[in-house]
Structure 1
C-alpha cells in the first residue's frame, strides 16, 4: 500500500498520475514536468506527442524553457503531433499549404470584385455625365457654336473601356504583388 503522506505521490488525495506518467508506466512525482500540461483525463494528447517527439525529447524541451513559455510550447507540440498523426507525410505543412491555397483563391475573388466595383463606378459616372448634358460635345456647354466645334475637334471623347481595362490591370497588378509578397514571406 502506498503512503501518500511521505510525498511519494503527486498530490495528496489525487492518486492518479498524469497522462505522461501513466503512459510511461512510472510514478508521477510531485514536481513532474508533464503533469501541468498533460492531465490524466487527456491521455491521447500525450500519446500523440510521445509518438511524434518522444518523451525524452519533450522532457528536455520543457526543462530548458522558462515556466511561462512551457504552456505555449506544449500547445505547439500537441498541434504539430496531431497534424502529423492525421497526415503522416506532410503534417503541419499540409495544413499550411491548404490554407495558403484558400487565401490565394479568396484574394483572386476579392481582386475581381474590386475591379467590378471600379467598372460599375466608371460606368455610373459616365452615364451620369452623358445623362445630364455635361459631355464635352454638348451644345449647352458654351454659348457659341464655334467654341463647341473647337471642343469637339481638340478634345477627344474619353474611351470608357480603356479606363475599365486600366482598373482591371491595376487589380491584377495588386493581386500579383500581393501573391509575390505572400510567397516571399512564406519561405
Structure 2
C-alpha cells in the first residue's frame, strides 16, 4: 500500500495524532490530518493543551488552505513556548534575547572604546618619543606598561559604561 502526503495509507486509515489523542475516528476530510501526522503525537498534544482542539479546529477552518501550514507552525511554536514558560511563552524568550543583545552591545561598546583609547595612547606616545609604532625600542606599547615597574589601569570602565548607557543612538 502506498502512503499519501498526509501519512495515510490508501485503503487503510491511520488516525492522525489529533484524532488519536481525542480518541475519535479520523475521516478523509479531517482538518488536522495534514498538519498533525500520527508519528508526531507530541506536536498536537501541546497545541491541544494550550489552545484546545475546538479552537484549533475553528482557526484552521477560518483560514484559506495556503495559510494553514504557517498557522499550525505558529501554534506549535507558541504552545511549546507556553509549556516551557506558562506565564510569558514566546514573549519571555524574546525579552531574554533582547536583554542578551543589550549586554552584548554594551560589551562591544566597551571593547571599541578600549581600542580607541589604546590607539590614542599609542599615537600620543609615538609623537612624544618621535618613534614609529613598529619600533623595537617603543616603550609605550601596552605590553611594556604591563611588564613595567608600575601598574596603571589601561582603561577606565566607568567611562565606557556611561558612554554605552547614554549613547543608544550608536545602535539605532
Structure 1 segments of 4+ aligned residues over 4 angstroms from their partners: 167-172
Where structure 2 has 5 or more consecutive residues not aligned to the other structure, the ranges are: 1-7, 132-155
Q: Please, what TM-score do these two structures have when normalized by structure 2?
A: 0.69
RMSD: 2.7
Q: Which moved more, 1:44-53 or 1:83-92?
A: 83-92
Q: Which residue does 1:87 correspond to in 2?
A: 85
- The yes-or-no answer on 1:48 pairing with 2:41 is no
Equivalent-residue separation in structure 2 for 1:53 and 1:80 (angstroms): 10
Secondary structure at 1:102 match in 2: helix
Q: CA deviation at 1:101?
A: 1.7
Equivalent-residue separation in structure 2 for 1:107 and 1:126 (angstroms): 28
Q: Which residue does 2:166 correspond to in 1?
A: 173
Q: Which residue does 2:24 correspond to in 1?
A: 26
Which of 93, 96, 99 in structure 2 is aligned with 1:98?
A: 96
Equivalent-residue separation in structure 2 for 1:178 and 1:91 (angstroms): 31
Q: CA deviation at 1:55?
A: 1.0
Pick closer, same or farther for the CA change 1:115–1:28 going to 2, 3 Å.
same
Equivalent residues of 1:115, 1:171 under 8 A apart: no
Q: Please, what TM-score do these two structures have when normalized by structure 1?
A: 0.64
For the pair shown, the structure with the greater C-alpha radius of gyration is 1
Q: CA deviation at 1:93?
A: 2.2
